[in-house]
Structure 1
Amino acid sequence: MQDKVRDLRSALKRLKQMEGQYIETDVEVDPMAELAGVYRYVGAGGTVKRPTKEGPAMVFNNVKGHKDARVAIGVLASRKRVAALLDCKPEELGKKLYHSVDNPIAPVEYQGDAPCQQVVHKVEDPDFNLYDLVPAPTNTPDDAGPYITLGMCYATHPDTGVHDVTIHRLCIQGKDELSIFFTPGARHIGAMAERAEELGQKLPISISIGVDPAIEIGSCFEAPTTPLGYDELSVAGALRNEPVELCKCLTVNEMAIANAEYVIEGEVIPNVRVQEDQNSHTGYAMPEFPGYTGPASSQCWLIKVKAVTHRENPIMQTCIGPSEEHVSMAGIPTEASIYGMVEKAMPGRLQNVYCGSAGGGKYMAVLQFKKREASDEGRQRQAALLAFSAFSELKHVFLVDEDVDCFDMNDVLWAMNTRFQGDADIITIPGVRCHPLDPSNDPTCSSSIRDHGIACKTIFDCTVPYDQKERFKRARFMEVDPEHWLS
């Protein structure tokens, strides 16, 4: 029987037991651009510039300038790995997450000395310096600075007392300062910071790094599936069938994930905005999930750090923005949300959903739809409209029949080439708010676009008309077990 996965260390232990899913190196690596550059070739996948591939998770044991720390990257950069770490089949991930939202298990307080507080560094210490304490990589030579890409930000609403955990873009700006980027209107902690600012208050925040993969996946749910007031740590609790354990921070009035590798404690400062590249002056932030390096923001908020705590011999966890890892974290919760919404509206029709690599987990969804009777014709397009209505970041939806593997884009494109006619099966919805990181969503690309971030959403209906299903049956091969011949 396999050991339970409940933190980063147990996750890595499981991956070590899986063929081809884990490698490590003792060769020294520079966290400044080199580390990400190495992993880009090894297994980043996603929308990273080719050549790359889907490969193993990788641990660097010898990180320049950080003798007692290691760095893990690509832990979730494979749907097969995520499924193994969440104890299910790859094609069942979206459905498992959907059911976890409906059966949340709230976090509890850890009893005893929390593992994440084995070593404590407070800002009053004379040698306190984030650059030395946290081996945060700089992904490219153009980055604004070292980025914490997998920090689980946890905060409490100043009015309601509700909690939330989300992942944000965090850049080290000084020995005790971080910048944090809030996408306008897109994350709950941003709303908490805005309310605290209205009240003239600082917002206590903890940033837990190197945690159970269930927490990383669950934290990426968004409204309407998990509205403001829904603590996404409860999703991780449901996935594990036991609560996430939290501990009290040492220097701010907030909780942190008890078994994290690192915890940064701090406060979001009201009425202060930071130029993200104030130290590098490159004009860029970091590589974002669509595959382009995002522009530096002049509207980042400031976190004043009060302490860094960590385990003994900690493992820093990081990811490359455009990698398969982002596809897992953003795409699987979106699959779950779309599946749940359509299932409630028309039970039994939607067989599965895939938010694939080409869309970074956000821009594109493939809906596998089963027309059970003549009156189901047209419902497949209604399902696509439901997906668009709930998820503003979706740009393209592909609709395929139940005999098409929605997780195989070659099969999806086969359906497009044999079951789709451009003059009849494209449905366009122009002038709809989409994602600001898509550079084509801009008036300079089309006169129909009125503002940056607006797009033409498109449905590609690659399903067979119900009354013609007999004409489109795939070649029928004998069902056999090939092991008899291959053993």
Structure 2
Amino acid sequence: MAKKNMAEVERNIAVVDLRSALELLESLPGELLSTDVEIDANAEISGVYRHVGAGGACMRPTRKGPAMLFNNVKGFPDFRVAIGLLSTRQRVGYLLGCKPERLGFLLKDAVRNPVPPITVAGADKALCQEVVHLASDPGFDLHTLLPAPTNTPEDAGPYITMGMCYAADPETGECDITIHRLCVQGRDELSMWLTPGRHIEAFRQKAEAAGEPLPISISIGVDPAIEIAACFEPPTTPQGFDELNIAGAIRGRAVELSDCLTIDARAIAHAEIVIEGELLPDLRVREDQNTNTGKAMPEFPGYTGEAKAELPVIKVHAVTHRRNPILQTTIGAGEEHVNMAGIPTEASILDMVERAMPGRLQNVYAHSAGGGKFLAILQFKKSSAADEGRQRQAALLAFASFPELKHVILVDEDVDIFDTDDVLWAMQTRYQGDVSTVFIPGVRCHPLDPSQIPEYSPSILTIGMSCKTIFDCTVPFHLKAQFQRSRFLDVDVGRFLPGWTREGASS
């Protein structure tokens, strides 16, 4: 069965929320699987999806595959759980209406053409408030209210992994949306891990210094454009830049927000589930206080993160949701994180390098091996002898545009950056370690890289520092004539194999 073309899909189904996203995927063969078999949210969902479509840095065996919808979650008859919507680049392309190789460019342009969110009112608009549960109710308990999964039997507890955390600067009112690790700690408490430099952490610190709580909403199950936009980081989106502007630009329409019922904050109006709460000042909790495993949950590098000794606490005031809600989750160490984090990384690099040296950087791929954060492949075109060395300048700009980037591999314009075999071919035939490698030791990177510890290297003074490295696999300009790839006859493959194109089978 041939897949529908992108234009046909876009005409028939406009993605405006999670449900329309699932409807779109259901219309595309092989993009969504659904099961009515009962499943336990305690480790089973990830245990299944790891084999179906996790990919990325997830423990082998794994594969890239369809998204999944679990319709029968043990103990939660009114809920369904969705996973893996963004776990292939092709699927992200369908959901955002863009060719997969052009997604970085789509987001780059969206940053430059922001569409601010708007606040709407009325029950017909605030779909996320069709059902309301107040924490003051005697039977309120996050454990029994939401089917928050654990990803492994060692997890510190149930986690909200795809919650869009939205809060405002207590001094300026400027808003930020981002995704954080949220662990259910009690009937009305969540712990929140905020990595250094995140804007909501700056908001929390301001509120705590004033002895005040920080109101925060957590929207779960939203338009995938919001999930992608929420993963932009400084300097592309500096403090005060609301990433919902990017989601609005992607869709060409403003993201709709609704006022929360119990706190002075807003949430995504079309969200499946909203948690309303406050980050409390001067209160900390041990992340694994309920399990004592020393483990948190699987993180994007492929390892289980350590449980943090002291994390801020969100006191939950209410949970609201749509009728028959869908809780969206992610497996952590999979391709879904790669796309959410990596495509904004690509956009940030494309934007900064294009501003500095227009026309030379052809494309960028934030590779799945680095979780979309640690490794970027840059496709660079040298047009004259004067361009020699500019490719390394582009790599330095990449590090500046995304500080958590650890490695950059530079390749020429004839290398397919989305084909790891082709990139490794360039490394084997266009790279000499002693002259093609640039080391930049002692630079801050990301605390989830387990090799970034003083025991690993004398250049690392504290956890989270790294030796950033450039692998220059481009041919020196004066030698380009000696490194031409074999040129084959351009043949119409379809004449011999109906249904095939030069790229492969079309069905």
Please tell me the TM-score bracket, short chain as reference: over 0.9
Q: Distance in 2 between matches of 1:64 and 1:207?
A: 24
The aligned residue for residue 22 of structure 1 is 32
For residue 141 of structure 1, report the CA deviation from its aligned partner: 0.6
Say whether 1:341 aligns with 2:352.
yes
Deviations 1:37-70 (A, max 9, x none): 1101111001001000001000000101100100
Q: Distance in 1 between matches of 2:318 and 2:461?
A: 45
Q: Distance in 2 between matches of 1:374 and 1:121?
A: 66
The aligned residue for residue 137 of structure 1 is 149
TM-score by length of 1: 0.99
The aligned residue for residue 232 of structure 1 is 243
The aligned residue for residue 116 of structure 1 is 128
Of 445, 449, 453, the residue aligned with 2:464 is 453
For residue 183 of structure 1, report the CA deviation from its aligned partner: 0.8
Corresponding pairs, count = 486
Q: Is the 8 A contact 1:116 1:258 kept in 2?
A: yes
Say whether 1:468 aligns with 2:479.
yes
Of 148, 158, 161, the residue aligned with 2:160 is 148
Question: Within 5 A, what are the aligned runs for 1:396-411?
Answer: 396-411=407-422
Of 296, 299, 305, the residue aligned with 1:294 is 305
Q: Distance in 2 between matches of 1:482 and 1:121?
A: 60
Q: Distance in 1 between matches of 2:359 and 2:489?
A: 28
For residue 451 of structure 1, report the CA deviation from its aligned partner: 1.5
Q: Secondary structure at the match of 2:12?
A: coil
Q: Distance in 2 between matches of 1:408 and 1:427?
A: 23
Deviations 1:245-277 (A, max 9, x none): 000100001000000000000011000011000
Q: Distance in 1 between matches of 2:430 and 2:371?
A: 26
Question: Within 5 A, what are the aligned runs for 1:236-275?
Answer: 236-275=247-286
Say whether 1:329 aligns with 2:376.
no
Q: Is the 8 A contact 1:68 1:313 kept in 2?
A: yes
For residue 391 of structure 1, report the CA deviation from its aligned partner: 2.1
Letter in 2 for 1:123: A
Quote the sequence identity (%).
64
Q: Secondary structure at the match of 2:496?
A: helix
Q: Distance in 2 between matches of 1:306 and 1:431?
A: 43
The aligned residue for residue 197 of structure 1 is 208
Q: Is the 8 A contact 1:46 1:323 kept in 2?
A: yes
Q: Is the 8 A contact 1:144 1:296 kept in 2?
A: yes
Structure 2 unaligned regions, length at least 5: 1-10, 499-507
Say whether 1:69 aligns with 2:84.
no
The aligned residue for residue 170 of structure 1 is 182
The aligned residue for residue 412 of structure 1 is 423
Letter in 2 for 1:453: G
Q: Secondary structure at the match of 1:207?
A: strand
Of 9, 12, 20, the residue aligned with 1:10 is 20
Q: Distance in 1 between matches of 2:415 and 2:345?
A: 20
Of 384, 391, 402, the residue aligned with 1:380 is 391
For residue 483 of structure 1, report the CA deviation from its aligned partner: 2.1
Structure 1 unaligned regions, length at least 5: none
For residue 184 of structure 1, report the CA deviation from its aligned partner: 1.8
Deviations 1:119-177 (A, max 9, x none): 10011212111111111100001100000000000001000000110000000001111
The aligned residue for residue 294 of structure 2 is 283
C-alpha RMSD of the superposition:
0.8
Q: Distance in 1 between matches of 2:390 and 2:362?
A: 13
Q: Distance in 1 between matches of 2:217 and 2:435?
A: 52
Most deviating of 164-173 and 433-442: 433-442
Q: Secondary structure at the match of 1:486?
A: coil
Say whether 1:354 aligns with 2:355.
no
Letter in 1 for 2:407: H
Say whether 1:59 aligns with 2:69.
yes
Q: Distance in 2 between matches of 1:451 and 1:199?
A: 30
Say whether 1:90 aligns with 2:100.
yes
For residue 450 of structure 1, report the CA deviation from its aligned partner: 1.5
Q: Is the 8 A contact 1:181 1:299 kept in 2?
A: no
Say whether 1:366 aligns with 2:390.
no
For residue 387 of structure 1, report the CA deviation from its aligned partner: 1.0
Q: Distance in 2 between matches of 1:10 and 1:369?
A: 38
Deviations 1:3-53 (A, max 9, x none): 110100000111111121110111111000111111011110010010000
Deviations 1:334-359 (A, max 9, x none): 00000100000000000000001101
Q: Distance in 2 between matches of 1:79 and 1:465?
A: 32
For residue 485 of structure 1, report the CA deviation from its aligned partner: 1.9
For residue 2 of structure 1, report the CA deviation from its aligned partner: 2.4
Say whether 1:42 aligns with 2:37.
no
Q: Distance in 2 between matches of 1:443 and 1:286?
A: 23
Letter in 2 for 1:296: A
Q: Distance in 2 between matches of 1:97 and 1:484?
A: 38
For residue 472 of structure 1, report the CA deviation from its aligned partner: 0.8
Deviations 1:267-298 (A, max 9, x none): 11000011000101110111110000000012
TM-score by length of 2: 0.95
Letter in 2 for 1:117: Q
The aligned residue for residue 314 of structure 2 is 303
Letter in 2 for 1:419: R
Q: Distance in 2 between matches of 1:2 and 1:293?
A: 41
Q: Distance in 2 between matches of 1:266 and 1:143?
A: 23
For residue 389 of structure 1, report the CA deviation from its aligned partner: 2.3
The aligned residue for residue 140 of structure 2 is 128
Say whether 1:432 aligns with 2:432.
no
Of 207, 224, 228, the residue aligned with 2:218 is 207
Q: Distance in 2 between matches of 1:68 and 1:309?
A: 14
Q: Is the 8 A contact 1:220 1:329 kept in 2?
A: yes
